[in-house]
Amino acid sequence: MKEGSVSQPVSTNVLLTADNLTCIREERVLFDELSFSVNAGDIIQIEGPNGAGKTSLLRILTGLSRPYDGRVCFQNQPIDQVSDEFRQALLYLGHKAGVKPELTAKKNLEVHLTLNGYENADLLAILSEVNLSGFEDSLAGHLSAGQHRRTSLARLWHTNAKIWILDEPFTAIDKRGVEHLENKFLKHADQGGCVILTSHQDLSVIPAERLKTIRLDAQED
**3 state DSSP class of 38:** strand
Helix (H, G, I), strand (E, B) or coil at 144: coil
- Binned at pLDDT 50, 70 and 90, residue 11 comes out as very low
Average pLDDT, the chain: 91
Q: DSSP class of residue 219?
A: P
190 pLDDT tier (thresholds 50, 70, 90)? very high
In a domain, residue 113? The reply is no
pLDDT at 219 over 70: no
Judge whether 179 lies within some domain. yes
* CATH code for the domain in which residue 92 is found: 3.40.50.300
Domain that holds residue 57: 14-99+161-215
152 assigned to some structural domain: no
More confident: 185 or 13: 185
pTM (2 d.p.): 0.90
What is the Cα–Cα distance from 50 to 72, expressed in whole angstroms? Answer: 23
Whether 135 is covered by a domain: the verdict is: no
Sheet containing 69-74: which strands, arranged edge to edge? Answer: 28-39, 14-25, 69-74, 77-78
Beta pairing, strands 163-167 & 14-25:
unpaired
Number of domains in the chain: 1
Does residue 112 sit within a domain?
A: no
First to last CA, the chain: 13
**In a domain? residue 111:** no
pLDDT at 8 over 90: no
Judged by DSSP in three states, 196 sits in strand
Does some domain include residue 132?
no
The torsion defined by the Cα of 93, 181, 204 and 217, in degrees rounded to 10, comes to 0
- CA dist 188 and 9 (Å) reads 16
pLDDT in tens, 119-164: 778 999 999 999 999 999 999 999 999 999 999 999 999 999 999 9
Dist CA 118 CA 161 (whole Å): 12
Residue 35 lies in a domain: yes
Q: Which of 208, 201, 195, 221 is nearest to 38 (CA)?
A: 195
Tell me the Ramachandran region of residue 168: left when phi exceeds 0, alpha when psi lies from -120 to 50, beta otherwise.
left
**CB distance 165 to 55 below 8 Å:** no
